[in-house]
Amino acid sequence: MRQDGAREDELPSIAVMDAASTAAAAIEIAGLAAEGTARDEARTAWLGLATACGTGAALAIAMRRGGRILGALALRLPIHRGPALPHRLEMSALLLARDVPRREAALALLERAEEEATGRAASLLTMELPAGDPDVAILRARGFRLTGRVPGGAGHGRDALLFWKDLAAGAQPPLPAPPPRDGVEVLAHDRLFRSYLALDRLELRHRLFAGGTSGVVGRDLVVRGPAAAILLWDPDRDQVALVEQFRVGALAAGMDPWILETVAGVVEPGEDAAEVARREALEEAGARVDEMVHVGRHLSSPGCSDETVETFVGRVDASRLGGIHGLADEGEDIRVVVMDAADAIAACADGRIANAITLIALQWLALNRAALAARWRRA
């Protein structure tokens, strides 16, 4: 059906509507909803959106051919914006006429929404959809990834699926597949966010102890990868050198954020953990490591992260250690603390040392210090 003299072959245009236009078009946009109840809800939502547009808290994006509205999309700015530009924008109320190609129209509206979000320096764009909604496939085609479920988010007792797209990352490389393991079937693997760390979402089934297979379960995974840690020990003086620095995780946990810990660093692809340990000892503590022994490899938080830590004990001359170290371009502010090994081991028991990697290394030293000292003295 044509309106206002519009030609059927005329290309549709997409533009951001002002608040007055949004209010005037609310009834027409609501008419795009499939059912009467949905239309009433859509009309109320778009009338409210007009008010939000007037305060700068939202945008309404419309697709038109001539005077006819073919589709519309709402883009809401975050409530807590502060003095900085918004970081995350939320999309909602994607409505399209039934006689337009849904996929093409939806992708065009999403592309315009991304342009608006990028223009406002947002790095994340999110949208909630009911499970089973056909637009889920369209969001995925546009590069959106599933982050999880929002209980009751779709209304009427239905959960919503929450999707987001990292606008700052550009084209996403293929995700590394988890190593195959008997008894585990990975059904979906999505990258939700990438910064210094990454956050993935896995949907999987696994074998049960009682026999059979579980239902589909969702698990969030903090992608951290391998790290290396080294406890610096002087067997001649029986002293250890630890490092003290600010840790945001301790702050968030309500603990003292200045943590005593072993030297540690990330093992990049292709690097050897032992060489990383030596390098980090020099960068963080100014320590040159002589002999080294391997303590073990362990998971730091297997319930939510793939981080593994390869731990070593390295022989040093503690009389040469102390002072402030770290790389300025990485924001490091690291103080070296030299203490008797017996005092450090006691600090594990009385709570002065609460870092798990350091606890493992010092407890290993407590069990093996006499044998290791004899070995290194013979060397």
Which residues are designated catalytic? Answer: 330
- The closest alpha carbon to 113, from 147, 133, 145, 139, belongs to 139
CA 326 – CA 41 distance, rounded (Å): 57
Say whether 332 sits in a helix, a strand or coil. Answer: coil
- Contact predicate 15/62, CB 8 Å: yes
Buried b / exposed e over 107-132, threshold 16 CB at 10 Å, is ebbbebbbebbeeeebbbbbbbbeee
- The closest alpha carbon to 310, from 323, 293, 327, belongs to 293
- Contact predicate 173/192, CB 8 Å: no
CA 259 – CA 245 distance, rounded (Å): 6
Rounded to the nearest 5°, which phi and psi values hold at 179? -55, 135
- Contact predicate 61/114, CB 8 Å: no
Rounded to the nearest 5°, which phi and psi values hold at 357? -60, -45
Could you give the maximum distance between any two Cα atoms of the chain, in Å?
97
- Contact predicate 245/326, CB 8 Å: yes
CA 310 – CA 273 distance, rounded (Å): 7
Token pair recorded at residue 251: 């702050």
- H/E element holding 181? none
CA 57 – CA 78 distance, rounded (Å): 7
Q: Distance of CA 55 to CAs 27, 81, 121, 237, 261, Å?
A: 21, 13, 19, 68, 50
CA 123 – CA 356 distance, rounded (Å): 34
Token pair recorded at residue 28: 């027409």
